[in-house]
């Protein structure tokens, strides 16, 4: 099967990461006082997701050129 699962994973988490990062930058700081101990977790975790997503995308793009898995044994 030549469909690389890392591609959709990468796209989806990059998208989530971007959404959260932007939202973290523009959102009212009050929601963080209320919930996450005053930490802007949307911004921080948005960046984490973005890094993860881009990493997966890179793997998918690099891996796309590799030959397929070895043929089944026996």
Q: Kindly list the residues in this chain that would bind another protein in the complex (CB under 8 A).
A: 1, 3, 5, 8-9, 11-13, 15-16, 19-20, 23-24, 27, 31-32, 34-37, 39, 41-42, 45-46, 48-49, 52, 69-74
Please say which residue, 35 or 62, places its beta carbon nearer to another protein.
35
* Distance of closest approach, residue 3 Cβ to another protein, in angstroms: 6
Please say which residue, 23 or 61, places its beta carbon nearer to another protein.
23
User: What does 16-66 look like in DSSP terms, one character per residue?
Assistant: HHHHHHHHHHHS-THHHHHSSTT--HHHHHHHHHHHHHHHHHHHHHHHTTS
Task: Name, in order, each residue with C-beta under 8 angstroms of 40's C-beta and a sequence gap of 6 or more.
Answer: 24, 27, 29, 32
């Amino acid at each position: 099967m030549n469909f690389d699962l890392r591609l959709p994973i990468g796209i989806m988490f990059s998208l989530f990461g971007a959404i959260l990062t932007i939202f973290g930058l523009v959102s009212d700081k009050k929601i963080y006082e209320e919930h996450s101990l005053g930490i802007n977790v949307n911004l921080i975790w948005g960046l984490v997701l973005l890094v993860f997503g881009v990493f997966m995308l890179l793997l998918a793009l690099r891996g796309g050129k590799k030959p397929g898995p070895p043929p089944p044994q026996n």
